């Protein structure tokens, strides 16, 4: 068995994200993205399964107790030929349907394989894992738990939950991976409170998240889940292409070498992004939605066919991203009382300039990156005194918008008044925006972190 210290209950959380600037650009290593972590977090609690003396189990139970029928059971075994740990979904009985969760299954496979490479002569003990999400990840109506906690219960299955687009899969993979590493490995091998520990977590979470998605994404969502708010430049995509599939010969050694190697060329600059005192992020959830993969494909196709025009726009947006990061940092070092009235004028101009370029890119590519409905909403919000400006973050479309506002109750009250009565008529594109709601979240500069295990015990026991 692993050491007694590592088999004590552990808990880890990781934040959601919003890509404030750098949508589409972040896919290309020549450009960067300005990503803020959010205080909406995915929490993972892990504890041992108690067994009778002489009984050996190779089973991990994963559950999301906020939802109906959200339970997964896995068996695991060490494969031959250095193929790593094979994870097999189990049925409680033949009458129960097998509901697969690729993100959990893949993260479990990659994490247990990495763990086994550090503990080759030790058995990985059975455990129970509970996954809990902040209310802001879902637009479903939740009910308070009993006894009360920060988490809500939802009378729906996980597949029926309506996500708000805060990067739940990346926060899940990151917190799930971090919890497994923290639980099974001694602290002198993996410590989430060190730079080296965060580097290992980032690389392992990127590898498993990309595998679960079936593609190599830009990785900014994993980066912010690990490190919190940062200026991000993606890793070279071919870094993951030579990794064997789980179970293949030498997968375990190849994964360990990749995770601990020096080949990763990701650039994460935390010092380059700050939130000035007196400002905050606010996100408004729009009851609509976008097909992000299809939008990205169309924009990249347009860029390939119109390289010169696209490069002009992308270079302009990159300058805007750099200027925004610099201005936020400048404001963070300035006395909040200085330059009253004009304090945020430069930041407002930068945001408006970026929006103009984004609309230009949308028109040229035929993709609704900032659709007319969102333009109307952002323009109206930006007219409220105390609101600096806002954008449709990430890939754009009809998802939530993000605003930079002065952190005052009167500003928030005016925003709530506007959004509660907000209506936009059909713009001729067949899209009608529903109710606009303010999500109860703000920026979070901190990434993955340890949590106090006792907070989650009522959820893990199902009480």
CATH of the domain at 170: 3.30.230.10
The proportion of the chain whose per-residue pLDDT surpasses 90, expressed as a percent, equals 70
Taking residues 334-349, report their average pLDDT: 79
Instruction: Judge whether residue 326 has pLDDT over 50.
Output: yes
Q: Are 258 and 109 members of one domain? A: yes
Taking residues 355-384, report their average pLDDT: 95
Read off the tokens for 451. 């949590």
Taking residues 353-368, report their average pLDDT: 96
The answer to the question of residue 3 being in a domain is no
* pLDDT at residue 414, rounded to an integer: 96
Instruction: Please report which confidence band the pLDDT of residue 400 belongs to, taking 50, 70 and 90 as the band edges.
Output: confident
Q: How many CA atoms lie within 13 A of 126 on its CB side?
A: 14
d(CA 78, CA 144): 41
Instruction: Judge whether residue 365 has pLDDT over 60.
Output: yes
3-class secondary structure for 395-461?
A: CCCCCCEEEEEECCHHHHHHHHHHHHCCCCCCCCCCCCCCCEEECCCCEECCCCEECCHHHHHHHHC
Query: 337 or 61: whose pLDDT is higher?
Result: 61
* pLDDT at residue 216, rounded to an integer: 85
If one counts every other C-beta atom within 10 angstroms of the C-beta of residue 149, the result is 14
* pLDDT at residue 449, rounded to an integer: 97
Q: Are 214 and 294 members of one domain? A: no
Taking residues 415-429, report their average pLDDT: 78
Mean pLDDT computed over every residue of the chain: 89
Q: Kindly calculate the radius of gyration of the chain based on its CA atoms and give it in whole angstroms.
A: 23
Q: Are 157 and 283 members of one domain? A: no
* pLDDT at residue 57, rounded to an integer: 67
What would the pLDDT profile of 424-439 be if each residue is shown by its tens digit? 665 555 566 667 889 8
**Residues facing residue 42 across a β-bridge:** 14, 133
If one counts every other C-beta atom within 10 angstroms of the C-beta of residue 227, the result is 26
Residue 238 class from Cβ within 10 Å (0-12 exposed, 13-18 middle, 19+ buried)? exposed
Residue 74: strand, helix, or coil: strand
Is residue 380 a contact partner of residue 327, using CB atoms and an 8 Å limit? no
Is residue 349 a contact partner of residue 308, using CB atoms and an 8 Å limit? no
d(CA 385, CA 395): 28
* pLDDT at residue 50, rounded to an integer: 75
Instruction: Judge whether residue 3 has pLDDT over 50.
Output: no
* pLDDT at residue 146, rounded to an integer: 77
Q: Are 230 and 112 members of one domain? A: yes
Q: Give phi and psi for 75, each to the nearest 5.
A: -100, 155
Q: Are 323 and 453 members of one domain? A: no
The answer to the question of residue 257 being in a domain is yes
Taking residues 412-416, report their average pLDDT: 96
The answer to the question of residue 4 being in a domain is no
Of residues 382, 381, 383, 376, the one with CA closest to residue 359:
376
Read off the tokens for 46. 């892990």
* pLDDT at residue 428, rounded to an integer: 55
CA distances for 379 relative to 278, 373, 401, 405, angstroms: 22, 10, 12, 14
CA distances for 10 relative to 46, 98, 168, 176, angstroms: 5, 28, 21, 11
Is residue 398 a contact partner of residue 376, using CB atoms and an 8 Å limit? no
Handedness of CA 101, 102, 104, 106 (dihedral sign): positive
* pLDDT at residue 5, rounded to an integer: 44
Q: Are 85 and 225 members of one domain? A: yes
Residues with Cβ within 8 Å of residue 228, at least 6 apart in sequence: 15, 37, 270, 444, 445, 446, 447
How many structural domains comprise the chain?
2
Read off the tokens for 183. 């639980």
CATH of the domain at 404: 3.30.70.890
Residue 311's domain spans which residues?
A: 279-443
pTM: 0.92
Range of weakest confidence among 123-132, 158-167, 298-307, 437-446? 158-167
Q: Are 418 and 454 members of one domain? A: no
d(CA 281, CA 34): 13
Query: 209 or 53: whose pLDDT is higher?
Result: 209
Q: Give phi and psi for 277, each to the nearest 5.
A: -60, 130
The answer to the question of residue 375 being in a domain is yes
Instruction: Judge whether residue 339 has pLDDT over 60.
Output: no
Q: Are 330 and 401 members of one domain? A: yes
Instruction: Judge whether residue 53 has pLDDT over 70.
Output: no
Residues with Cβ within 8 Å of residue 128, at least 6 apart in sequence: 46, 47, 48, 49, 60, 61, 62, 63, 460
Q: Are 352 and 290 members of one domain? A: yes
């Amino acid at each position: 068995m692993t050491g007694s210290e590592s088999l004590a209950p552990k808990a880890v959380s990781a934040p959601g994200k919003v890509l404030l600037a750098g949508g589409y650009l972040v896919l290309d290593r020549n450009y960067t993205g300005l990503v803020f972590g959010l205080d909406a977090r995915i929490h993972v609690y892990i504890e041992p399964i108690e067994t009778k003396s002489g009984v050996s189990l190779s089973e991990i139970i994963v559950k999301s107790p906020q939802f109906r029928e959200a339970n997964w059971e896995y068996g695991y075994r060490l494969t031959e030929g250095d193929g790593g740990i094979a994870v097999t979904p189990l049925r409680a009985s033949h009458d129960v349907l097998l509901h697969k969760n690729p993100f959990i299954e893949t993260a479990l496979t990659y994490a247990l394989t990495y763990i086994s490479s550090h503990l080759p002569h030790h058995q990985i003990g059975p455990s129970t894992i509970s996954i809990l999400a902040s209310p802001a990840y879902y637009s479903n109506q939740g009910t308070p738990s009993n006894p009360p906690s920060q988490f809500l219960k939802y009378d729906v299955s996980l597949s029926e939950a309506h996500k708000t687009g805060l990067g739940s899969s990346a926060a899940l993979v990151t917190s799930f991976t971090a919890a497994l590493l923290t639980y099974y490995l001694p602290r002198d091998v993996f410590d989430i409170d060190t730079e080296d520990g965060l580097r290992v977590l980032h690389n392992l979470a990127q590898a498993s998240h990309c595998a679960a998605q079936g593609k190599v994404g830009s990785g900014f969502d994993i980066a912010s889940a690990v490190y919190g708010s940062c200026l991000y430049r993606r890793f070279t995509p071919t870094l993951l292409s030579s990794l064997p599939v789980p179970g293949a010969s030498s997968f375990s050694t190849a994964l360990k070498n990749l995770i601990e190697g020096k080949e990763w060329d990701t650039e994460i600059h935390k010092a380059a992004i700050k939130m000035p005192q007196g400002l905050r992020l606010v996100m408004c959830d729009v009851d609509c939605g976008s097909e992000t993969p299809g939008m990205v494909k169309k924009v990249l196709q347009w860029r390939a066919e119109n390289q010169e025009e696209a490069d002009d726009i992308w270079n302009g947006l990159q300058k805007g991203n750099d200027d925004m990061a610099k201005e936020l940092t400048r404001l963070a070092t300035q006395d909040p009382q200085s330059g009253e009235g004009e304090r945020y004028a430069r930041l407002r101009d930068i945001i408006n300039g970026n929006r103009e370029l984004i609309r230009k890119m949308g028109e040229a590519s035929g993709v609704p990156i900032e659709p007319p409905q969102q333009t109307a909403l952002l323009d109206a919000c930006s007219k409220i005194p105390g609101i600096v400006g806002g954008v449709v973050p990430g890939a754009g479309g009809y998802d939530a918008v993000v605003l930079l506002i002065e952190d005052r109750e009167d500003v928030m009250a005016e925003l709530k008044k506007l959004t509660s009565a907000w209506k936009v008529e059909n713009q001729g594109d067949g899209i009608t925006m529903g109710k606009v709601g303010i999500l109860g979240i703000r920026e979070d500069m901190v990434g993955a972190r340890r949590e106090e295990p006792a907070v989650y015990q009522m959820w893990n026991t199902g009480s």
